[in-house]
Amino acid sequence: METTAAPLTMPAAPAGVDAARRRRHLIGVAILLVAACVLPFLVGNYRVFQLTLVLAYSIALLGLNMLTGYNGQISLGHGAFYAIGAYTAAILMDKFGMPYWMTIPIAGAVCLIAGFLFGLPALRLEGLYLALATFALGVAMPQILKHKSLEQWTGGVQGIVIVKPEAPEGLGLSQDQWLYFFTLAWVVLMFFIGWNLLRGRIGRAMVAIRDQPVAAQAMGVNTSLYKSLTFGVSALYTGVAGALGSIAIQFVAPDSFTIFLSITLVVGVVVGGLASISGAIYGALFIQFVPNVADQLSKAAPWAIYGVFLLAFMYLMPTGVAGFIRILRARLKR
């Protein structure tokens, strides 16, 4: 990365190196998965709960990264889709008595439609203008959720309390551990789909639209369709994450989904690394744990410490943690 604004492009490798690299990749993922499975047995229930949230955030960040990192559309309002997902799950469980595991695909589908519909007018807006439009969505969402006409569904300012799902009998898992594994399964599924989506034709089209929209169109990429579909899929990911997060927290209320959540998500994407799948995990760890660390360092001005952390991260790794690791690896190889 030398000059300009363009984020990292996907590295292309010669065919011979490809197989070895893929094997190493697979081994890495397997180690990560084993570690993720062992972890909840080593730490207390509260830490397991926090890790569950990290998993949920990582899905949301992957979704936002598709839109911002790969497709170049900046959204400052993804907290709204997180809220829609969370509320869909909560309302389905609370008002319709649906089991928790059934609500997640529905929350995703609702967000896919919402995102696609929002993406259509947003097609005309670029850069900062899109940022403002999405920002408006993020600001409006808590007010909409509080509105009287929706109160019988959303519970107004009070929100909705969700019953914590029981672990299936015979597994010997605590409720928190069960939720952790349930969320982990979704993470594996969503990352697998995301990985397949991004490395193939669709992913290349998304990157082409980001880097050279006119050239992409000339090559036969349907720019408008891809852009609004990316918006939809990105919202789907964020909605699934919102549903999983709300089940873990067992509570939804309008004030948990302020514009601050949207900004936190953007922070997570950039700190983790734009246009990188693994970046979603680093970013999720950052947004879950760094505020806690900052709070322990200074009770008086925790957010000042958080800001200093952010500054330090951006100075040391302007391309995010994933970009930093990539540079480090390239240097070690030489």
Partner 1 sequence: MDQLIHQILSGLATGGIYASVALALVMIYQATHLVNFAQGELAMFATYLAWALIQAGVPYWGAFAITVVSAFVGGVLIERIIIRPVENAPILAVVIVFIALLVIFNSLAGWIFSYTIKPFPSPFPAEPLFGNSYVSSHELGSMAITLVVLLMLFVFFRYTPLGLAMRAAAQNPESSRLVGIRVGWMLALGWGLAAAIGAIAGMMVAPTVFLEPNMMGGILLYAFAGALLGGIDSPGGAVLGGFIVGVLENVVGAYVGTELKLTVALIVIVGVLVVRPSGLFGKVHVTRV
Tell which positions 63-82 bind partner 1, by CB under 8 A.
Answer: 68, 74
Q: How many CB atoms lie within 10 A of CB 173?
A: 18
Q: Which of 32, 129, 163, 200 binds partner 1 (CB under 8 A)?
A: 129
| 327 lines the binding site for partner 1 (CB under 8 A) | no
Query: Could you say whether residue 2 binds partner 1 (CB under 8 A)?
Result: yes
Can you tell me which of 57, 82, 135, 282 binds partner 1, judged by CB under 8 A? Answer: 135
Tokens representing residue 5 in the block: 């604004």
- Write out the binding residues for partner 1, residues 181-240 only, by CB under 8 A: 212-215, 218
Q: Give the residues across from 252 on adjacent strands.
A: 160
Cα Rg of the chain, angstroms = 20
Site size for partner 1 (CB under 8 A)? 53
3-state secondary structure the chain: CCCCCCCCCCCCCCHHHHHHHHHHHHHHHHHHHHHHHHHHHHCCHHHHHHHHHHHHHHHHHHHHHHHHHHCCCCCCCHHHHHHHHHHHHHHHHHHHCCCHHHHHHHHHHHHHHHHHHHHHHHCCCCHHHHHHHHHHHHHHHHHHHHCHHHHHHHCHHHCEECCCCCCCCCCCCCHHHHHHHHHHHHHHHHHHHHHHHHHCHHHHHHHHHHHCHHHHHHCCCCHHHHHHHHHHHHHHHHHHHHHHHHHHHCEECHHHCCHHHHHHHHHHHHHHCCCCCCHHHHHHHHHHHHHHHHHHHCCCCHHHHHHHHHHHHHHHCCCHHHHHHHHHHHHHHC
Contact of 229 with 129, CB cutoff 8 Å: no
Q: Is 9 in the site for partner 1 (CB under 8 A)?
A: no
The interface region with partner 1, picked from 53-61, 143-151, 154-162, 177-185 by CB under 8 A, is 143-151
The neighbouring-strand residues paired with 160 are 252
Q: Which residue of 106, 113, 117, 136 would you call a contact of partner 1, by CB under 8 A?
A: 136
Residue 30 or 128 with smaller CB distance to partner 1: 128
Q: Which of 271, 253, 249, 324 is nearest to 46 (CA)?
A: 249
Which CB, 117 or 136, lies closer to partner 1?
A: 136
- Does 104 bind partner 1 (CB under 8 A)? Our answer is no
Candidate segments 53-61, 105-113, 184-192, 299-307, binder of partner 1 by CB under 8 A: 299-307
Under rule CB under 8 A, residue 296 binds partner 1: no
Is residue 132 close enough to count as binding partner 1 by CB under 8 A? yes
Which residue of 29, 106, 188, 310 would you call a contact of partner 1, by CB under 8 A? 310
Per-residue tokens: 148: 């009287």
Q: C-beta of 119: minimal distance to partner 1 in Å?
A: 13
Indicate whether 302 belongs to the interface with partner 1 (CB under 8 A). Answer: yes
User: Does the footprint of partner 1 cover residue 304 (CB under 8 A)?
Assistant: yes
125 binds partner 1 (CB under 8 A): yes
* Interface pattern 259-288 for partner 1 (x via CB under 8 A): ----x--xx-xxx--x--------------
Q: Per-residue x/- marks for partner 1, 145-184, CB under 8 A?
A: -xx-------------------------------------
The correct pick among 31, 189, 301, 328 for binding partner 1 (CB under 8 A) is 301
| Residues that bind partner 1 in the complex, under the rule CB under 8 A | 1-3, 5-7, 68, 74, 121, 124-126, 128-129, 131-133, 135-136, 139-140, 143-144, 146-147, 212-215, 218, 263, 266-267, 269-271, 274, 300-304, 306-308, 310-311, 313-315, 318-320
